[in-house]
Amino acid sequence: MSSQKPRVAVRGSERVALQGTLIGAPDPNQRIEVTVRVRRRNPLPDSAALEAQAVQPKQRRHLSREAFEAAYGADPEDIAKVEEFAHEHGLTTVTASAARRSVVLAGTVAAMSEAFGVYLAHYQTPEGIHRGRTGVVSVPEDLVDIVEGVFGLDNRPQARPHFRRLNGSEGLAPNLAQSFSYSPDQLAKLYSFPQDVNGKGQCIAIIELGGGFRTQDLTTYFAHLGIPKPKVVAVSVDGGHNQPSTPDSDDGEVMLDIEVAGAVAPGAKIVVYFAPNTDQGFLDAITTAIHDNHNKPSVISISWGSAEKNWTPQAMQTFDQAFQSAAHLGVTVCAAAGDDGSADRVNDGRQHVDFPASSSFVLACGGTHVEAPPAGPISLETVWNHGPGNGATGGGISDVFDLPAYQANAQVPPSANPDHRVGRGVPDIAADADPSTGYRVRVDGQDMVIGGTSAVAPLWAGLIALLNQKQGTPAGFINPFLYSHVAGVFKDITVGNNGAYPAHTGWDACTGLGSANGTALVHALLGQMPAGSA
């Protein structure tokens, strides 16, 4: 039996103790679920070929979800071995997906602890009581090459939403004399997003790890804007649900994401995937969206994240692989770069970038401060930074991911950390994120102004939906194309800093390539790919 075989640690699974007070062991009979991530049937093609295709849209050949599952999903034999192991340890299979390479197992705390060689404990933290573990997860040696990650044993909060309310608990900097605000459709016009398409035929996926929306709020909001209300659907993942509560909750994130994306692309279908705020919930929401063969999203907006330091290597590797899968499927992934400058809320004297924005297969979205008269154009655009504790765009150099080929000529500087590593530079692009020049939204019956790089991810998700409708084929992994078409598409942001990194001519670790002219981007894409071509 597998349980009698020597055990081996799952690579990258080591966890440090939760910052909090150890309370004691959870009830051994408590039922919990975990997600076991299984290796691919075949390795994906070299990413260099993927990047080369992304630069030349005519050469793009995105796989269907069915074809991708058949070629690069999990081998049924590997899934069967995981299920056999689970059965031997008194665990049951909840779901198994070859496409998502995920097997969800259920069992008692005692059975899970024995199966994966861990000790689970409860900790009291400022966020509440959470189940945590330390050390590594282990499996029998005959599974170590099959199992790439185990998620859910630890249910500590994994990410935070990257939004800030104006004049709220995370609001206006005390030294700011005045503020501006815009509806999302006004900002779309200021950034010259195409106005002759509305995202019809596209699906925008939004990942949420808390909060909820009320349909009546959406009805009122879009009626006020004079924009047709988009179709919005909630999908439950791992027991997460659409659960609106109060205006000062995570509802602000959910409503910001829906209202920004919906105002930019009201013709698109918006599917909101609600999951628990754990590494398991986050991963399962992303893989569910990527491989959703019913709704078929062509772009995903993620406004949640945390510093790379707060993730296990197995999590970052597994998420990164999911985003690579999205690239092969023609799904663009937009993620907020963070709202706490170059340190990203980590007080260890080092600089940190936010994940998942730091994945090389994600479009990392940074933030600016924008001033413009009602009719435009933009009169001032600088780096969003109101000083420590008052909000600033995230950005910097990854400690984990190498410099991607598409950034080879972007003159990405060495890290400001002592090792001076040259890695993946964050962000790729930027747009308005300062709450003092923020987005007018409606949350739980209240009208308010919200900013944060959380707003930039759905803004760009809406733009991608417009691009996809305009060209008749998904933009997909758009990063290499953007870096090869800077001239005439991007406005360079050269004033400001996010702490350790200053803005300057060309790409920088505050605002990336800068803010885009949406119509110019459409022309650049269509210049190489006639509308409707494959």
Look up residue 39 and give its two tokens. Answer: 């290796």
CA atoms within 13 A on the CB side of 147: 30
Classify 482 as helix, strand or coil.
helix
Which of 253, 428, 434, 508 is catalytic? The answer is 253
- 145 in active site: no
**From CA 189, how far away is CA 462, in angstroms rounded?**
13
Q: Is 454 a catalytic residue?
A: yes
**Computed from CA positions of residues 138, 140, 145, 150, in that sequence, does the dihedral angle turn out positive or negative?**
negative
- Which position among 208, 257, 292, 444 bears the catalytic label? 257
| Cα–Cα distance measured from residue 180 to residue 284, given in angstroms and rounded to the nearest whole number | 38
CA angle 284, 25, 22 (to 5 degrees): 90
Q: Exactly one of 97, 454, 508, 515 is catalytic; name it.
A: 454
295 and 203 in contact (C-beta within 8 Å)?
Answer: yes
Terminal CA-CA length for the chain = 51
Say how far apart CA 439 and CA 185 lie, in whole Å.
10
CA–CA dist 142, 6 (Å, integer): 9
What would the two tokens of residue 401 be? 């991911």
Place of tokens 């002219």: 517
CA distance 303 to 208: 8
Q: Active site includes 259?
A: no
Q: What are the E-state strand segments in 395-459?
A: 396-402, 423-426, 429-432, 437-443, 446-451
CB atoms within 10 A of CB 243: 15
Tell me the catalytic residues.
Answer: 253, 257, 454
